[in-house]
Structure 1
Amino acid sequence: MTTFGRQFLNADKVAEEAGKVAMEKMRNSALMWVGFVAFLFAVFNRLFRGPHRLLSMAGIRLLS
């Protein structure tokens, strides 16, 4: 029997392996996007609100 025949007869194993590969790719992509969004959120928070709020909580007045 050829290799194609053995793989064709074992369709469940082929489908399981394909599912594992697809899930791993989706998981890696999702983790990358979550990390990127968290980084952007931290940068925007620091640029627009972060330093002034921290200084005022520490009792330091800003020169304005």
Structure 2
Amino acid sequence: MQHPSITRTERTGYPQLEEQPKRDIYDEEIFSGERVWLDPNNGNLILKCNLAKYIMEHYDFDLVEG
């Protein structure tokens, strides 16, 4: 009797890969249930903690004090 992973690989030709965690544009892991922003212009995912940085880098906004 073979291990199920070996049987599946022989049957399909591919090993079962572990699902990789999603990451935002700055390589921060996105956890289940966490809210992220999606840039509709390019599909980038951005975490809240990186949103100001992203806007300044990609849309030439300046952050100023009110």
TM-score when normalising by structure 1:
0.34
Is the radius of gyration larger for structure 1 or structure 2? Answer: 1
The TM-score, its normalising length taken from structure 2, stands at 0.33
Higher RCO (CA < 8 A, seq sep 6+)? 2
